[in-house]
Structure 1
Amino acid sequence: MEAYSGVHADLFDHLNHGRLEQYRSDVHALRSAWPSDTWDEEWDGPVSIHHDGSVLAIHLLP
């Protein structure tokens, strides 16, 4: 299995320079722009399933 992840360049720049609080703040501010379709009520986050079998599922951790 191979796994890849992508992140917006500005967010990656925060991580690359150790600005974790700025990264967290920006990610939370962008959350309202995420797709609203969810896998189920307990997951509470967007899920993307492609024809090639790849899956991306995102949700906030408690």
Structure 2
Amino acid sequence: MDARLFGLLSEGQVGEYRAIVPAKRHTRAQVAWDKKWGGPVSVHSDGSVLAIRLLPGQRRPRH
């Protein structure tokens, strides 16, 4: 994933994030496990972000 874009979002700099995203529209989605977030994060070429993690107190199911 684009660390710069993720950094802007995590710092609350949404305006700068929105200014950069249009230039990256033609790149494919980037998906990675983010250790700081604690789950997978996907940044798509249109600027949308999907980040998933377990909430505190939730346990992972045992298989």
Same fold (TM over 0.5): no
Structure-2-length-normalised TM-score: 0.39
Report which structure shows greater RCO (CA 8 Å, sep ≥6): 2
Structure holding more strand per residue: 2
